[in-house]
Chain A
Amino acid sequence: MGHNIHVPKLPNADDFSRDLLASHASKGKLYRNALLITGGIFSLGILAFLVRFFTEEFNSDNREPWAYYAAMVAFLLTTAGAAPIVAVALRLVKAHWRRPMTRVAEIYGSVGLLTLLLFIPLLFLIPSASGRRTIWFQDHDGPFGIGTYGKIPGAPHAYDLLALLFLVICGLALLYLSALPDIAKLRDQKSESRVNYNRLSLGWYGTWKQWKIVNLGVTLLGVFYLMLFIYTMSIFSIDLSLSLVPGWRDAIYPTFQTLTALQAGLAATIVGLYLIRRFARLEQYIGVEQFWGASKILLALSLLWFYFWWSGFIVYWYGRIPAEKDILELFMFGPYMALFIAAFLLCFVCPFLILLWNSVRKTVWGPTLAGVSVLLGTLVDKIRLYVPSWSITDSLDKHALSSMPGTNYPDIGDLLMVFGGIAGAIFIYLLVSKIVPIVSFWEMKEGMMLRTVRRYLRREIIVHGKPD
């Protein structure tokens, strides 16, 4: 198959170092403008938050004004929080095409700082676990009828906060450790940067022992991050949406939210990769191969989006239990139907139709377009799920909704908070990319060493080294 395939000239490690260093050192006018714009919108978002804070009651009995804010935090955790998993997973399976995209994904870990800060106000808005249905089983007969469980101190607030805190620390540690050899490289370049790379590089000289620590550390932190993320996403989605709606008993929901996060994280990485390729002029090193490889996974995740949604939907729809019919109406066929249709189209139908074709998958624009669609769809989906959850005024010890709430439309403050939060995430990403190289030097160079072109019979083919 493919006897007419042209094998491209493989890039040279020295050329790559030179090009990437040049790209890292000279961030142009476009970069500064992007910083200004995102910083400006972020500031407006903060202002909107402050106005809302001082004009609305700020307690767990008045969650509705913060519904869009909660959706925005969920969106950030879903996209930026999941993106480092792309790097982790591709490293674990030793996908050779991953190399230009691992750092792009890992830098999203730094956005976790913002997510954590934005999450803190939400802690004051979610009700205590006492006397209601939560996974923390507080002040209730024990789930197995073996007496009343004692109070779990601080549930759910402390555990949600700790989970997110550890996740953010782990994400930052992963980024720092994997960037350490590159920081040392920047130190050795003696650039005019104001960043003190000498101190940041922690005496890295690339000894055998140091490399061993970095390789082992990146793997362990990666696995730890993956597990922490699944845990955090699960309890976040349960505590901040599922348990706020009477009658919503949905075992697949936390898993579905984790899956959509993986899809959105990959989409964010693809879109980020496209922008870096385009604006940092790295077309020679970020090829179609990366987009092609990532697009296949995005296609699989989009299909899984449908499968998980359908698995949950069919059981409720088929069961015809009144409490469950109310849940379907609330989230899909009632006041938020338009958002459901939009999320369904953007998260499943569009990426599926785009990525179905190999000729489109094997382009730079195809997977990027699908990625943009998924990101938009995820934002809409979070609004669809979190806004109704935060707009319910029923007592939380009920087993069904007492009445169907109306649509909670956003006002200007909501919009500013949502877009401000997203702009804040981009702002932080841009700042960190000024410090840490946006493409991993060492992983790219390792890839170049492990790759060669050989003649086989009458044609040239690429040979990939597969060290253990």
Chain B
Amino acid sequence: MQERRVQTDAEINSDLLNNVLKARRWYWPAVGISATVMFAAIVAWACVIVMGLGLTGLNRPIMWGFFVTNFVFWIGISHAGVMLSAILRLSKAEWRRPATRAAEVLTVFSLMVAATNIFMHVGRVWRLLTWPLPYDFARGIFPNVRSALIWDPSAITTYLTGSILFVVVALIPDLAVIRDRTTGVRHQIYSLLSLGWRGTPRQWKLQIVAGFLLSALLLPVFVSVHSIVSWDFAAAIAVESWHSTIFAPYFVIGAVHSGVSGVVTVMIILRYAYNWEAYIRKEHLDALGKLLIAIATAWFYFFIMEILASLYNLEGQEIALRELQVLTWPFAPMFIVFIVTGYFLPVPLWLFKSVRRSPMWMLVTTISVNIGMWIERFLIVVPGLARKQPLTFDWSSYSPSIFEIIMVTGTFAFVTLMMLLFSKVFPLIPIFDIKEGQILSDEIQIGRRKVPALKVEE
């Protein structure tokens, strides 16, 4: 870590709590805009609930459209939290420190919004009761526990619970810092939230052990969530292009690609918004850029294998479907945009150090990745269903209605709003983690050069 600036604890407290203790000029307008878009989405949703799914572009056989695409997309974004926080924490990567909180919080809100998409998708939301819950109200019918669609809610709620715990455990020391700097009702609330934290050795030990344990426990859950989402598709043998053995790891790596890109986007916005240049430094973006090259290339390898395996068997129906997905209007231009924005634009750019160290370029490229990854999910969901039946009279096409577009836009507004509200109440960069990083960093003299160094416990 070359660019560290030695800062006092007081400086760190003041810098990282500036969003909590006072609001910036842009803050309330930003909250207002997000809330307005979200309100529009709620109104659109209310219309769909009252008047039915006929208001959407869903039709037979394309019963999965924008909402399911968006569900898979947000589940993907949610993978950033564990990928960055748990894996980098377990591997003791020093550069993780400013990124972990944003990643964890993004995970929680993404999961919430992903689950909301399923409520939107079913039309009459109360019908969900009859879907995942073990009920036997009157007719003696139980849900099919052998269905991946039933595994989904279990995996997602487990992941959501674990992720919330993960955020809370990491927040406790910071909440105590805020408690000690507030008065009145706020002081009382933060006192309650900080659970009597005084920073004793025993409390630190428990907090560290809990963090490590949660990291290790969340890892399998994190893998299972997107794997199960993938089996929603892969287990359905009726749809060509879905029944693929590679889907689980392909979905997981795609999710990590999209999620880490999402975290970088959020970090850069925070850097600008709160003047956190001393904390979210160019070296962090550089390290994340390198990580993204590896993740994106691994994802691309899986993508190639998936396509290759589908063509390799030389089965007419599958090949016709791929032709639709890749070469036929309206999917062909979407495919080009997906592959360019998802891989061929960002990855070659990330090979340049100057790009990796440029917040503006990293912002553009990481947003580009998520545009590509959203389209990728759309291209998985819709073309397959459009040609689900071999008989042409059952073929169909899909275009989203204005209601779906507003509701999907609303999900982005929801996550933005939640992040904004969270940042007003809690620090978005872990204060204790940054201070720990300051303590652990050191320098050693080699010949005539001073080399940055790190204190380590063997």
Contact = CB atoms under 8 A, between A and B. Distances in A.
B245 A454 contact: no
B248 A251 contact: no
Interface in A128-159: 133-135, 137, 140, 143-145
A314 B231 contact: yes
Contact of A449 (B247, B446, B452): B446
Contact of A251 (B2, B244, B315, B452): B244
Contacts of A140: 314
A338 interface: no
A311 B227 contact: yes
A317 to B, nearest CB: 10
B451 A1 contact: no
Given A249-B309, A250-B309, A145 B231 contact: no
B306 interface: yes
A308 interface: yes
B456 A144 contact: no
Interface stretch (B72-80, B155-163, B317-325): B317-325
Contacts of B237: 319-321
A2 interface: yes
Interface string B416-458: 0000000000000000000000000010101000011111111
B234 A463 contact: no
A316 B323 CA distance: 25
B245 A251 contact: yes
B319 A145 contact: yes
Interface residues of A, number: 50
Interface in B6-55: none
Q: Which of A134, A249, A253 has the most CB of B within 10 A?
A: A249
A400 B442 CA distance: 63
B350 to A, nearest CB: 14
Contacts of B1: 466
A85 B457 CA distance: 27
B247 A462 contact: no
A465 B446 contact: yes
Contacts of B208: 1
A252 B455 contact: no
B245 A316 contact: yes
Nearest to B294: A92
Interface in B301-338: 301-302, 305-306, 308-315, 319-320, 322-323, 326-327
Interface size range of chain B in the complex: 35 or more
B442 A251 contact: no
B388 to A, nearest CB: 16
B137 to A, nearest CB: 29
B249 interface: yes
A399 B457 contact: no
A255 B451 contact: no
B235 interface: yes
B249 A464 contact: no
Interface string B285-304: 00000000000000001100
Nearest to A452: B444
B445 to A, nearest CB: 9
Interface in B218-247: 223, 227, 231, 234-235, 237, 243-247
B322 to A, nearest CB: 7
Contact of B245 (A134, A312, A456): A312
Q: Which of A140, A253, A311, A312 has the most CB of B within 10 A?
A: A311
Q: Which of B94, B243, B302 has the most CB of A within 10 A?
A: B243
B302 A461 contact: no
Contacts of A254: 305
Interface string A296-315: 00000000000110011011
Contacts of B181: none
Contacts of B247: 311, 315
Contact of A234 (B305, B326, B451, B456): B305
A7 interface: yes
A256 B57 CA distance: 39
Nearest to B209: A1
B205 interface: yes
A454 B458 contact: no
Given A143-B314, A252-B249, A319-B237, 6 more contacts: A1-B457, A133-B314, A145-B320, A253-B245, A319-B243, A450-B446
24 contacts: A1-B205, A133-B314, A143-B319, A143-B322, A251-B246, A255-B246, A255-B249, A255-B301, A307-B223, A311-B245, A311-B246, A311-B247, A319-B235, A320-B237, A321-B243, A449-B446, A450-B446, A461-B455, A461-B456, A463-B453, A464-B456, A465-B444, A465-B452, A467-B451
> Which 9 residue pairs spanning A and B have beta carbons closest together?
A251-B309, A251-B246, A311-B248, A143-B311, A312-B245, A465-B451, A252-B245, A252-B246, A249-B313
Interface of A: 1-2, 5, 7-8, 133-135, 137, 140, 143-145, 230, 234, 238, 243, 249-255, 289, 307-308, 311-312, 314-316, 318-321, 399, 449-450, 452, 454, 456, 461-468
Interface of B: 1-2, 94, 205, 208, 223, 227, 231, 234-235, 237, 243-250, 301-302, 305-306, 308-315, 319-320, 322-323, 326-327, 442, 444, 446, 451-458
